[in-house]
Structure 1
């Protein structure tokens, strides 16, 4: 892949591939096909693939013969016909086809010479693959210029071919990413940013293969904290971690919710970079890392390991736990919300530090899966808006049990809002906010919530897997509406459905970084 930092605005493209000079243009078949099209007759063909070979082009044609039979063949040409082009051809001899009807062919060539900003708004991130690249005639004193055909890989125009002019040659087969600046202007984005996103997606897949649910570890720590034979320092760490977990009653206060999210582990690296040492102590991920550092020296074969070597030890540790984790079930898809439950064998003996180590490593991977999912879903949407995502998991103490609540918050801003230097002082309700929650609350069973807040108007959907729970919640929606109205919110639709939300690709960002056909 080639990194391209800038590209000049498109010029009006005179449809070189569709001009009238196509009359009599020959397509040379790569293999002789005698009698393919009867003398004096024509056939309809569609270009399904285009590849540039130096100054010539190789086309793959899907030909519909006069007798109704389809056939696919390859031909060489001196002019590029973009994929999707519909042409009418006749056969001159066993190895040559001629474009027979120039006007019909020209009107059907699917090449965009400008963008419809109603379908592809300004700010949209376009991705494409370079099909062809040819130098343009240059007059004396002018800078060289090149014309390329680019197959679009995303947006509502995916599959169409875009003609662009560039002051430099674009390598055939390279993948490009560009922001729409106008109907005839693109600003190309360095591929380093796209490579970062690809690295995030790959790392997310790895972490999700290692992770396991938090309650298994928390239950083991609860057992450890009350065991008289446990190591005192390890038992104290387990007690501190459990004491730092909020209970459901505490989350009735907005400040307590904010504090719980802040300590969920999603922001540990940000705190460390900002030098907020005092805010790290109650952080869930920080406590899990400290716990692993305490366990490692006591595990047989790891006596020489110390906290200083923890960073090097964790990857190998995770790989050791991964073999067991991979047997639990299928891996979740990257970006999936909520993360499904994955359980390891519970701790049967408080002295089984190897199993405790596996549980702690899997818990760290679960936190990191949420962090990577946040990065994966942060960026520019197809509409050009800036989307920021925060995804985390808050374990709650519920009696002697632990209730993990998964949360995803998204803020979406227009380019103008995002570019505002005073946005920190701006009313946060100007942005579009989305929130998703997922938890399993006894005796109600698994529940999911999806809500949207825009300009002070709140709407929401709830899903309950148990039909009786769905009926109960539905009967209480009127009371919920009244309480929300009393808080000053304009309430839109509220509904509860039995079952679970539709699954599948649900992130609002374009995630297709690689052309599968490349």
Structure 2
């Protein structure tokens, strides 16, 4: 369920969301809550911590006088998970609750890898650690790879989301998989860093990237900047930072895997080697059943490129009919994309596809996912 501030609590909520109550409103935090009543608009008013919010009243269920909620996402429209201590939670929900406060985006990890790659002192690391770092860098894809159909398919397959299903395949090349799969490379490096740095630190990034949940929608994620204090030759400090970031990235992959067990779409993130840095391509892939008329596919993506700014796109394919919608935050990026529409139309026509729509709008779309108005109910 989308939680929105009441008019009386707007300033209090804005303070909590912007960081003045950051410790209370971190993703994964459990907060005490109680219902205050129904307002004239028919919305239920709740007190959550020290903040009053309004939300849709749950259908067919009466909330207890006291209960708890867990923070799933922050921002102008946060999402909270209602926790009712009635029965034992399914294992997947327990695992999700454990990983949500541990996860963070890939951008801090990729920035730390870049910084380590530029340090001559890296050659002084233990011999067993250097190949694991190289293997993680190896699975970062290039733009050339993902702009080909087979290259994008391979990048999705090796994104970490499908690692366990590949492990069940016969005649598996275990060594090759650990070097080609993002999660496999993360697991290998995490294990070695656990031995090299026994006292693991939490990810020290100053910002949290919302988890890859379907109800959250696509997110264009910018590159991360390292603190100036870490831009010297202190490799141990970078490795300590990397230690926490690797575990945060692993938790993020597992959040996406757990989400895929109950959702109808895949949320996939692919690290990319960009110009003077690394970027994250987020992909949402969904097959839509259409009764007896067959099915259609929806392919969404989001990326934040230094030269273009945040971008999102949605492609809908029904048989041979294709609709393409693009969004860009910057007006100059909209103009640059529209200049490529002619060649794109010609390329699509040559494949036999019928282009029903091709558009680009300024501003990023708001999530309209079907689960965005549901308060997730799990058992504490």
The verdict on a shared fold, with TM-score over 0.5 as the criterion, is: yes
CA displacement, residues 389-436 of structure 1 (integer Å, 9 cap, x when unaligned)? 22211111124411211111001225669xxxxxxxxxxxx4210011
CA-CA distance at 1:341 after TM superposition = 4.0
Distance 2:295 2:99 in 1: 31
Q: 1:129 to 1:391 in 2, by over 3 A?
A: same
Q: Does the CA contact (< 8 Å) of 2:107 and 2:221 recur in 1?
A: no
TM-score, normalised by the number of residues in structure 1: 0.49
For 1:149-228, list aligned pairs within 5 A.
200=92, 203-204=95-96, 207-225=99-117, 227-228=122-123
Name the count of aligned residue pairs.
287
Q: Does the CA contact (< 8 Å) of 2:296 and 2:319 recur in 1?
A: yes
User: How well do the aligned residues superpose, as a CA RMSD in angstroms?
Assistant: 3.6
1:328 equivalenced with 2:207 (yes/no): yes
CA-CA distance at 1:266 after TM superposition = 0.8
**Alignment match, 2:259:** 373
Distance 1:130 1:434 in 2: 34
Alignment counterpart, residue 280 of structure 2, candidates 359, 382, 404: 404
**Alignment match, 1:295:** 193
**Equivalent residue of 2:217, what SS?**
coil
CA-CA distance at 1:239 after TM superposition = 1.4
CA-CA distance at 1:244 after TM superposition = 2.9
Q: Which has the larger radius of gyration?
A: 1
Alignment counterpart, residue 273 of structure 1, candidates 152, 168, 185: 168
Q: Identify the structure with the greater helix proportion.
A: 2
**Alignment match, 1:351:** 236
**Alignment match, 1:238:** 133
CA displacement, residues 72-94 of structure 1 (integer Å, 9 cap, x when unaligned)? xxxxxxxxxxxxxxxxxxxxxxx
Q: Does the CA contact (< 8 Å) of 2:314 and 2:324 recur in 1?
A: yes
**Equivalent residue of 1:369, what SS?**
helix
Distance 1:339 1:203 in 2: 23
**Equivalent residue of 1:469, what SS?**
helix
**Alignment match, 2:17:** none
CA displacement, residues 425-467 of structure 1 (integer Å, 9 cap, x when unaligned)? xxxxx42100111112231111110111112110021011111
**Alignment match, 2:65:** none
Gaps of 5+ in 1: 1-126, 132-191, 302-316, 379-388, 418-429
Q: Does the CA contact (< 8 Å) of 2:112 and 2:226 recur in 1?
A: no
Q: Does the CA contact (< 8 Å) of 1:205 and 1:333 recur in 2?
A: no
**Equivalent residue of 2:307, what SS?**
coil
**Alignment match, 2:47:** none
Distance 1:333 1:409 in 2: 13
Q: 1:397 to 1:356 in 2, by over 3 A?
A: same
**Alignment match, 1:506:** 369
Q: 1:333 to 1:217 in 2, by over 3 A?
A: closer
TM-score, normalised by the number of residues in structure 2: 0.65
CA displacement, residues 176-221 of structure 1 (integer Å, 9 cap, x when unaligned)? xxxxxxxxxxxxxxxx9xx75xx65675465343322323223323
